[in-house]
Amino acid sequence: MPHLSRVVNQLRTERKRVHQELSRLDAAIDALQGLSSSTGARRVSSSAPRRTLSVAARKKIAAAQRARWATWKAKQKKVA
């Protein structure tokens, strides 16, 4: 059993070392996050009103996309 207690002590020592390393990593992450927000990094505001399209505009966009796809498919059939 003396061998087992030595292993347990080594594991506890390793756990303490890993915990200290994680604390240092957390501090580094916090510091870097603080830098990115203070340097004027642009963030998209979620409170900004979103622009909406009218039903007519959505229909025009959809029709234009269908026309593009039809042209593309027609070219694919000619190649094959």
CB neighbour list of residue 37: distance below 8 Å, 6 or more residues apart: 43
Give the HSE-up count for residue 61: Cα atoms under 13 Å, Cβ half-sphere: 6
pLDDT at 73: 94
Per-residue pLDDT 10s for the chain (80 aa) are: 678 999 999 999 999 999 999 999 999 998 888 776 555 555 556 677 888 999 999 999 999 999 999 999 999 988 76
Backbone angles phi, psi at 52, to 5 degrees: -115, 150
pLDDT at 68: 96
Contact 61, 53 (CB under 8 A): yes
